[in-house]
Structure 1
Amino acid sequence: MASANDGKLLEVILDSWDRNNLILVNLLGALPPGGLEARAMSGSPTVAEMFTHMHFVRLIFLSEDVPECAVPLPEREWVREGSADVIAKELERSAGAVRHAVKSRIQSGEAMNLHYDHPLLYLQHMIWHEGYHHGQIKLALKAAGHPFDDEVIGPLTWDIWMDKTQKR
Structure 2
Amino acid sequence: MSNALEQGLLGALLDSWDRSNTILVNLLRAVPEGGLAARAMEGSPSVSEMFTHMHHERMVSVLEEAPEFAGTVPAEEWVAEADPERIAKMLNESARVVRAAIQGRVETGRAMDLNYDHPILLLQLLIFHEGYHHGQIKLALKAAGKPVTNDEAGPLTWDLWRIKKGAS
1:48-104 alpha-carbon deviations (Å, 9 max, x no partner): 000000000001111011000000011100000010000000000000000000000
TM-score normalised to structure 1 length: 0.96
The one-letter code matched in structure 1 to 2:25 is: V
The one-letter code matched in structure 1 to 2:134 is: H
Structure 1 CA distance for aligned equivalents of residues 101 and 67 of structure 2: 9
Q: Which residue of 2 aligns with 1:57?
A: 57
Unaligned runs of 5+ in 2: none
Structure 1 CA distance for aligned equivalents of residues 116 and 96 of structure 2: 20
Structure 2 CA distance for aligned equivalents of residues 51 and 166 of structure 1: 30
Q: Which residue of 2 aligns with 1:85?
A: 85
Structure 1 CA distance for aligned equivalents of residues 166 and 156 of structure 2: 10
Q: Which residue of 2 aligns with 1:108?
A: 108
The one-letter code matched in structure 1 to 2:101 is: A
Structure 2 CA distance for aligned equivalents of residues 8 and 87 of structure 1: 31
Q: Which residue of 2 aligns with 1:76?
A: 76
CA RMSD in angstroms, aligned pairs only: 1.3
Unaligned runs of 5+ in 1: none
Structure 2 CA distance for aligned equivalents of residues 17 and 165 of structure 1: 15
1:35-55 alpha-carbon deviations (Å, 9 max, x no partner): 100000000000000000000
Structure 1 CA distance for aligned equivalents of residues 151 and 24 of structure 2: 17
Q: Is the 8 A contact 1:159 1:166 kept in 2?
A: no
Structure 1 CA distance for aligned equivalents of residues 112 and 63 of structure 2: 11
Please identify runs of 4+ aligned residues in structure 1 that moved more than 4 A.
Answer: none
Structure 2 CA distance for aligned equivalents of residues 99 and 34 of structure 1: 31
Determine helix, strand or coil for the equivalent of 1:40.
coil
Report the Cα offset of residue 108 of structure 1.
Answer: 0.2
Structure 2 CA distance for aligned equivalents of residues 44 and 143 of structure 1: 12
TM-score normalised to structure 2 length: 0.96
Structure 1 CA distance for aligned equivalents of residues 149 and 52 of structure 2: 24
Report the Cα offset of residue 5 of structure 1.
Answer: 1.4
Q: Which residue of 2 aligns with 1:119?
A: 119
Structure 1 CA distance for aligned equivalents of residues 31 and 166 of structure 2: 22
Structure 2 CA distance for aligned equivalents of residues 151 and 27 of structure 1: 13
Q: Is the 8 A contact 1:28 1:88 kept in 2?
A: yes
Report the Cα offset of residue 162 of structure 1.
Answer: 1.6
